[in-house]
Structure 1
């Protein structure tokens, strides 16, 4: 047992203290606190808070400290917002960038509209269903989660029923449940092929809980209603297991920032376009070319665009932008480009953009490190930060969404003519 003084919060939300042998990372401890901790190497387990931080408040969830879903629930709102914003500031500084960073925008809204539950089987096929324990492979059984949207509150019980329906196989499952306009949509991963009896059990579960759809590894088992999402003016059919932003408020906040930055552009490239979070809204004001590696997402985007009156043309291209980024010649016809890659970022595409003459680039990211790396590539190619804004879509986690706007000063006059 060691007495430690916590100097700051780290990138995962853990308290970082200085011990004789080096830094110690203590989950759930806050900056400015004196604590007792069990220490093993660099890891510490919080035992007692001897002197609490003035910014400490009570956690609101009964599972906090056990469930790994939330890293920081006990900070006052102002201290929490500063910590999250500084995650981005620090990542940019480490990349050699010091642009002004806007205040954190709360994009949690009414809560998460999608969640992945994990199921593991104990003796006699009894499932244990919930979220993963913090820094462990054990499952914390969850009866209710307060950060889920009201429409997703039944999700823990739905996941339990799905796990019981597949209990005979005893395979570990990941159960993704998404709230849609048509009702809950479920995609199961980890089971493999289903037997006829298992398919019938899932059909019964879908009927009992009025689910819109159940799919297994992206293959439809039963679709009682097409799971629909509203993106801008368009209704979009969500492909099985398809990606979308975690909260409705987050999607709308990010899209509003992107659309405002690109206002006036006549032809826009939307890279890593997915279902059309940005494409379908940008098509209200410009022609859009949407590029992604997922054919199902692009097909859903294209169908939604064609069936929505008053949108300008949206073209699609299936392409792996990690392996085959759009080169400078491919990018020459765009007034502006937006890219929103997975957590790994868009290093190859950022390099290609840096070598292009696109006047305006908007980078969207869910990872501060990969965003900082890609931003450094763009600035090394002559772009300048116009703005950078952090969004808190994943409240109480260490994840930050970012929108960065980059412009080429050398073509500013040309850009004004194009966008005027």
Structure 2
């Protein structure tokens, strides 16, 4: 008789784990499964007794594409699992907080995606990587991407036919912008005169807003504008952007609430101005970002917008040179949106500064919990946490949180 296993829980990447610490993909807590043991994993998994939360994946590519890990789970389960993941990360450090209801972006709203493309003997294959594999899985439909991104597949195939080597794969980042598709290609052939001319011609024929090759802009038909509040910004190729407009708005609303009534705000890891520029409708904002090109794009957006208060910018590596307490003293609120590693060095300086209000945006519950513990130990109160799910059906979790000094009321 084939051995059977009880799935106890899901780990942060969405895999299930059994009592004997075997890991299985595509399962849910409480399910009885069988499979072949290739420690520490179970392969060829079969569901013997399904969970009440198991559903039919909406996408035909769910089994092969590595983009979504949780399409077999109900929306109710995914929402609670993501909120619980944040709650567990905080609880592990002895922190309790009000968890607001999760905000989940609708299907087909992802405005940016990086796809792989490779040349083969039969032509070109473009799509996503198979889970835990370098194999490229061609896709004909996607329930996550904005329809304009799905329509870009022929564009990607054409670019791969022109500029991919037979030994490598292109990484093609496609972003929906106000001017059309903004395309940035990496790992292609070196640019030379003929390739440059071919790519410029393709940009025109395919009606792309902009095409960049290894960060160099080859051609631009129309500025690939992103709107941040009243400002229009043209980000540098491949610059960070929130995954969906819906999710961006949810995070902005949380950040605005956490910094309400502030007159002077510092925005750390500001990117191209996702929060800086909308906040400038009511406060002066100083934006700090490691990439000088992003600060330049933010500044241009501010200068061309109307009705915004003063915005200043600074290109600075906040991991090596965090803002110090005397530099933070002139602000009455702070926004911080670090990458997945969090901002340990910067948060240590913030803790010394006693800045009254902090809006913390995070894409990793574990590093957020670490930084939250530092702030709480320095006298801050964690008022609430808002989980935002921009990466529907994935294991990815984002959140925004409000901190105030413990002697302040949350709305002061």
TM range (shorter): over 0.9
For residues 38-77 of structure 1, the C-alpha deviation after alignment (integer angstroms, 9 at most, x for no partner) is 2211111243211111111100111112111000012122
2:209/2:224 contact within 8 Å kept:
yes
For residues 61-120 of structure 1, the C-alpha deviation after alignment (integer angstroms, 9 at most, x for no partner) is 111121110000121221121111111111112233222322211134651001001123
Q: Is 1:14 equivalent to 2:15 in the alignment?
A: yes
Which region of structure 1 is more displaced relative to structure 2, 217-226 or 100-109? 100-109
Structure 2 SS opposite 1:102: strand
2:109/2:146 contact within 8 Å kept:
yes
* Structure 2 counterpart of 1:34: 32
* Aligned-pair CA distance for 1:33: 0.9
Match of 2:206 among 204, 209, 213: 209
* Structure 1 counterpart of 2:341: 344
1:270/1:278 contact within 8 Å kept:
yes
Equivalent residues, number: 411
Match of 2:300 among 287, 299, 303: 303
> How do residues 120-199 of structure 1 correspond to structure 2 at under 5 angstroms?
120-123=118-121, 126-167=123-164, 170-191=167-188, 193-199=190-196
Structure 1 unaligned runs (5+)? none
Equivalent-residue separation in structure 1 for 2:107 and 2:45 (angstroms): 34
Equivalent-residue separation in structure 2 for 1:407 and 1:186 (angstroms): 41
- TM-score between the two structures when normalised by the length of structure 2: 0.96
1:13/1:398 contact within 8 Å kept:
yes
For residues 130-169 of structure 1, the C-alpha deviation after alignment (integer angstroms, 9 at most, x for no partner) is 1111112211112232211123221222211111111456
Distance change (3 Å), C-alpha of 1:93 and 1:204: same
Q: Is 1:312 equivalent to 2:309 in the alignment?
A: yes
1:127/1:167 contact within 8 Å kept:
no
* Structure 1 counterpart of 2:21: 23
For residues 381-406 of structure 1, the C-alpha deviation after alignment (integer angstroms, 9 at most, x for no partner) is 11110111111111011111111111
Equivalent-residue separation in structure 2 for 1:8 and 1:357 (angstroms): 39
1:35/1:46 contact within 8 Å kept:
no
Hey, which bits of structure 1, 4+ residues long, moved more than 4 A? none
2:98/2:383 contact within 8 Å kept:
no
Structure 2 SS opposite 1:128: strand
* Aligned-pair CA distance for 1:4: 0.9
Which region of structure 1 is more displaced relative to structure 2, 186-195 or 337-346? 186-195
Match of 1:102 among 76, 100, 103: 100
Equivalent-residue separation in structure 1 for 2:307 and 2:365 (angstroms): 36
Q: Is 1:44 equivalent to 2:42 in the alignment?
A: yes
* Structure 2 counterpart of 1:85: 83
* Structure 2 counterpart of 1:281: 278
- TM-score between the two structures when normalised by the length of structure 1: 0.94
Match of 1:263 among 260, 264, 277: 260
* Structure 2 counterpart of 1:3: 4
Structure 1 SS opposite 2:98: coil
Structure 1 SS opposite 2:345: helix
Superposed CA RMSD: 1.7
> How do residues 105-120 of structure 1 correspond to structure 2 at under 5 angstroms?
105-108=103-106, 110-120=108-118
Equivalent-residue separation in structure 1 for 2:127 and 2:93 (angstroms): 37
Which region of structure 1 is more displaced relative to structure 2, 97-106 or 374-383? 97-106
Equivalent-residue separation in structure 1 for 2:197 and 2:168 (angstroms): 18
Q: Is 1:372 equivalent to 2:369 in the alignment?
A: yes
* Aligned-pair CA distance for 1:234: 1.0
Equivalent-residue separation in structure 1 for 2:112 and 2:81 (angstroms): 25
Structure 2 SS opposite 1:268: strand
Which region of structure 1 is more displaced relative to structure 2, 96-105 or 222-231? 96-105
Structure 2 unaligned runs (5+)? none
Structure 2 SS opposite 1:291: strand
Structure 2 SS opposite 1:285: coil
Distance change (3 Å), C-alpha of 1:205 and 1:170: farther
* Aligned-pair CA distance for 1:193: 2.7
For residues 176-220 of structure 1, the C-alpha deviation after alignment (integer angstroms, 9 at most, x for no partner) is 000101000110111263122222222232122210110012110
> How do residues 62-77 of structure 1 correspond to structure 2 at under 5 angstroms?
62-77=60-75
